[in-house]
Amino acid sequence: MKRSFILSTLAATLISGAAFADHHGENPMVGGAEMFADKNIVENAVNSADHTTLVAAVTAAGLVDTLASDGPFTVFAPVNDAFAALPEGTVETLLMPENKDQLTKILTCHVVGKEVMSDALKGMIEDDGGKHPVPTLGGCTLQASYVDGKMMLEDENGNVATVTIADVDQSNGVIHVINTVMLPAM
């Protein structure tokens, strides 16, 4: 029961960021749930139907308290389909208690230790000539670019994610919804 509540709260938080970009001034909808700027990342994420796998992973990695803390954080939040695109059995294996360290590393490669809105990131990309390094709390460096009007992220393995919903404002940071899981260099 407690795990379901935590997962629902984390999913809702991740969803709220996506809707904000489309509804300036209104609470955004992410994964069918309204996101609230006065709630933290975890409180919103658990309500997003598009982020149930991410919420389960954050819970298994023991990162709920961290992402509910003051922050600020920027979370690049992969949707369920992004996790489903990983090789068969990957998610189930990562959720096993003995793989907690690896799961934590992957998840923290989606988190930046400050709030970065898309306009600011776009400016940094332009200032750097088309690509900007984004260091994460997990020790990974993502490369951000802006292609055909879309914010893109590339991980250390060449996997590329598109930001599908940007600037979902949270009380402790911002969420940008992405369509690919970012992986650390292997």
Domain residue ranges of the chain, discontinuous segments joined by +: 2-116+163-178
Percentage of the chain beyond pLDDT 70 is 85
Residue-level pLDDT at 84? 95
CA distance 152 to 185: 18
- CATH 2.30.180, applies to 2-116+163-178: yes
Burial class (CB in 10 A: 0-12, 13-18, 19+), 96: exposed
ω into 72 cis (within 30 of 0)? yes
Mean pLDDT for 101-123 is 94
pLDDT for 24-43, tens place per residue? 456 677 777 778 788 888 88
pLDDT for 138-161, tens place per residue? 999 999 999 998 999 999 999 999
Q: Average pLDDT, whole number, for the chain?
A: 84
CA distance 20 to 179: 17
Pairing of strands 173-178, 73-78: parallel
Mean pLDDT for 13-25 is 37
Residue-level pLDDT at 13? 35
Residue-level pLDDT at 118? 93
pTM: 0.83
7 pLDDT exceeds 60? no
pLDDT band at 186 (very low <50, low <70, confident <90, very high): confident
Mean pLDDT for 159-171 is 93
